[in-house]
Structure 1
């Protein structure tokens, strides 16, 4: 049994200004995406050049933050946001929905691709491997904030979080960090090392994230004000991940069949 370390969510205090670990994790995620994106942009098959990563990162950051906050309001905290609309602006307090952030990123990438006359799926394939490191950093931020805990467990790595009582719990934030962040990054970076048919990397990301999230939700406690949606186990996170898995599988199937048809026609 482990005990949750007493971590102050405020990383740095500069007079009246408090800088939270949660916000710093987002900065780390965006920084890693920028650095990795410049590396990928050096490849001859990249849809953008290294210098374009500055603009692309700015667009992506807007999509993540705006989409994440709106998604949180729609999927998880409608009543809270209606009671306090300004809470949408307090990003440092937590409350970001990945699925909303993903929709926001998809929208801005589509606009960026259209403006620069890039195939949207080619841009999606370029960006997909850049996302998991940010997810890993974000889940570490959840852990530091002491939020999104798992259900009680008897496993030896169960962790006691005093505000929730004496029972050891699944550190579900770290599970998600490992699966959605580290493992998915390794898989996507390896898979995209060679040229793939347009959409294959994007599809693999959707299937990989959706599957990892669906599995971890079995041991992660649902939001108290929402609870389980059905059967005493089906959560909002699982409901939102199922369409991702289906869409990713369809995109990958289409991409691979398109390559097969192209090879046959030649």
Structure 2
């Protein structure tokens, strides 16, 4: 299957000023998160109102963009900065790290917790189900950009394999679509249905970390590692190394959440 001929630029106003599909996907992701957050804010017992949701999403947006870009540069392309000092700000060329974006969002959680006089995990549990919306649109943006393609395969074992123009002419896994489906759509529904009823504090956050880390670890077997990390990827890819703490941390949070709930119930 040939990669569909998609122009990454939707329209240009003048020179580099315009709108591309990659940027639009991020906007749609935040719009979807805002819509879901607004709906959740109106539910009985919600810790935040619609205005606070909008306020946090602004800080969350900054955390995702700044953390995601810096994470990509630090984790995957550190030497590129020596060749091109402006490389970190060329977001329109693609290249964002989820793990870096997560660290940026954690900083936003900490700041907003202090600002709203709530706790870190109150915020994390409330917003965690919205994150997969942005993950799904972001990975689809990677697909439109024809970047982050998968490992070489063949049509016999993978009938949906594609030839990506920016790659080497071999059939490859469309791994960004695997991530869109697993880390985005599937994880969204898991968190959505899990969080519809009250859960102990930290449980929703823990399930998000556990779910994302597991799905990302699996997809990394089909995703082409960065050229300067291929030797490392013979054992574990950088994405898998960064996902392992998420899997462990998520499991620990869920265990602690239900253990604390059990202790509280017994105390009563």
Q: Same fold (TM over 0.5)?
A: yes
User: SS of the counterpart of 1:3?
Assistant: coil
User: Counterpart in 2 of 1:217?
Assistant: 220
User: Counterpart in 1 of 2:183?
Assistant: 180
Q: Is the 8 A contact 2:146 2:165 kept in 1?
A: no
| Structure 1 residues not aligned, in runs of 5+ | none
User: Counterpart in 1 of 2:12?
Assistant: 13
User: Counterpart in 2 of 1:149?
Assistant: 149
User: Counterpart in 2 of 1:66?
Assistant: 66
Question: Which of structure 1's runs of 4+ aligned residues deviate more than 3 A?
Answer: none
Q: TM-score, normalization: structure 2?
A: 0.95
Residues 45-102 of structure 1: CA deviation (Å, up to 9, x unaligned): 2221112122111010011111111111210111112332322122111111110100
Q: CA RMSD in A?
A: 1.2
Once the 2 structures are TM-superposed, how far is the Cα of residue 243 of structure 1 from its aligned partner? 0.5
Q: Is the 8 A contact 2:209 2:247 kept in 1?
A: yes
User: SS of the counterpart of 2:118?
Assistant: coil
Q: Distance in 1 between matches of 2:82 and 2:66?
A: 17
Residues 143-188 of structure 1: CA deviation (Å, up to 9, x unaligned): 0111111112231111122443443211000000000000000000
User: Counterpart in 2 of 1:261?
Assistant: 263
User: SS of the counterpart of 2:39?
Assistant: helix
Q: 2:201 aligns with which of 195, 198, 201?
A: 198
| Structure 2 residues not aligned, in runs of 5+ | none
Once the 2 structures are TM-superposed, how far is the Cα of residue 233 of structure 1 from its aligned partner? 4.1
Q: Distance in 2 between matches of 1:120 and 1:45?
A: 17
User: Counterpart in 1 of 2:251?
Assistant: 249
Once the 2 structures are TM-superposed, how far is the Cα of residue 15 of structure 1 from its aligned partner? 3.0
Q: Is the 8 A contact 2:146 2:166 kept in 1?
A: no
Aligned positions, number: 264
